[in-house]
Amino acid sequence: MNITGEELILACSAIGAGLAVMSGIGTGIGQGNAAGSAAAAVGRNPGAKSDITGTMLLGQAVAETTGLYGLLVSMLLLFVKPLVG
């Protein structure tokens, strides 16, 4: 069985894409932290629920960015194939 260089690069790109989306681990931890803190805050002060929810969503969206960068890198590796000449 002969493996051409291009096939090797494609296989490695697939592995790299899988590794890139592992940036979602940190995003998940961060978003979970934010949601947990928001739940605690609502428990202490139920009257401020709508404000807390808005702040939580905003913070989670900002925390999500790093995970999305990982997603974009994996998308580029899989579909645009920048490493294949």
Partner 1 sequence: MNGLILADASADNIDFMIHGLFSYNLFGHEVWITTSHVCILIVMLVLIGFAIVANRKLKHAKEVPEGLQNVVELMVEKLQGMVGNTMGKHAPKFANWIFTIFAFILLSNISGLFGLRPPTADYGTTLALALITFVLIWFNTFKHNSLKEIWIDKCSPLPPWLPIWLPINLIGDIAVPISLSLRLFANVLSGTVMMALVYGLLAKFAYIWPAALHVYFDLFAGGIQTYVFCMLTMTYISNAIGDDD
Residues near partner 1 (CB under 8 A) are: 54, 57-58, 61-62, 64-65, 68-69, 71-72, 75-76, 79-81
Q: In whole angstroms, how close is the CB of 40 to partner 1 at the nearest point? A: 21
Which DSSP symbol is given to 6?
H
Cα 9–chain centre separation:
24
Cβ-based nearer residue to partner 1, 40 or 62 = 62
CB closer to partner 1, 23 vs 37:
23
Residue 56 tokens read as 């939580």
Task: Give min distance, CB of 82 to partner 1, in A.
Answer: 10
Token reading at 65: 């960015």
